[in-house]
Structure 1
Amino acid sequence: MCIGLPMRVVTGGDFFAECDRRGTIERVSLLLIGPQPAGTPVLVYLGTAVRVLGAEEARLIDDALDGVAAAIEGRPYDHLFADLIDREPELPDFLRVPSV
């Protein structure tokens, strides 16, 4: 299984960028999303940026990943899924039946 990680562009060129994830810098391919300015959050799979993220979406992904790690380690994690607590599950748009 491959997990996408939010990273932030530090410096970039046309094809590659140096991206930061919690203090670790990694060279990331930009071939799928094009050049991005410094500070842009991107979703990275196996060294390739696959999508530009908004700041809030990047935070939610980080919270979810931290929540999974906390659950594995037996630490409290509910606060990391605050956006899901007391909410009815929703289907993504592409799985919803169109209303007539």
Structure 2
Amino acid sequence: MCVGLPMTIIETDGVSALCERRSERRLVSVLLLDRPPVGAQVLVFIDSAIRLLGAEEAGQIDNAVDGLAAACNGEDFDHLFADLINREPELPEHLRPV
């Protein structure tokens, strides 16, 4: 299974960027983005930054990944999905009927 992870750009030359997530650094392509700045959070999938992320969305993705790890280890994970507790599931806007 492949999962996109949020990473922060710490330096870039416009073609590639050195990104960091939790003390892991990785060189990724930024060719799919329009000149993302240093400090930007990006979603990295198979060593390519595929889109910019806001801080809230990056945090939700981090929580989801941590929640999956906790569930696999038999640990409590409900607190990591606080945005989903006590609400009905919703389709993404682009999948909703017109």
Indicate the TM-score class for this superposition, using the shorter chain for normalisation: over 0.9
Give the AA of the match of 1:78: D
- Larger-Rg structure: 1
Partner of 2:49: 49
Shift of 1:44: 0.3
Shift of 1:9: 0.3
* Aligned pairs, number: 98
- Percent identity reads 53
8 Å CA contact 1:15, 1:29 repeated in 2: yes
Tell me the SS of whatever aligns to 2:38: coil
Partner of 1:97: 97
Q: Identify unmatched segments of 5+ residues in structure 1.
A: none
Partner of 2:79: 79
Partner of 2:31: 31
Distance 1:17 1:39 in 2: 11
Distance 1:7 1:48 in 2: 11
Distance 2:25 2:74 in 1: 29
**Deviation beyond 6 Å, 4+ runs, structure 1:** none
The normalised TM-score by structure 2 is 0.96
The normalised TM-score by structure 1 is 0.94
Tell me the SS of whatever aligns to 1:56: helix
RMSD over aligned Cα atoms? 0.8
Q: Identify unmatched segments of 5+ residues in structure 2.
A: none
8 Å CA contact 1:15, 1:34 repeated in 2: no
Q: How does 1:59-74 map to 2 (within 5 A)?
A: 59-74=59-74
What does the per-residue CA deviation read over 1:17-69, in whole Å, with 9 as the maximum and x for residues that have no partner? Answer: 10001011110100101322111000001100000000100000000000000
Distance 1:19 1:56 in 2: 18
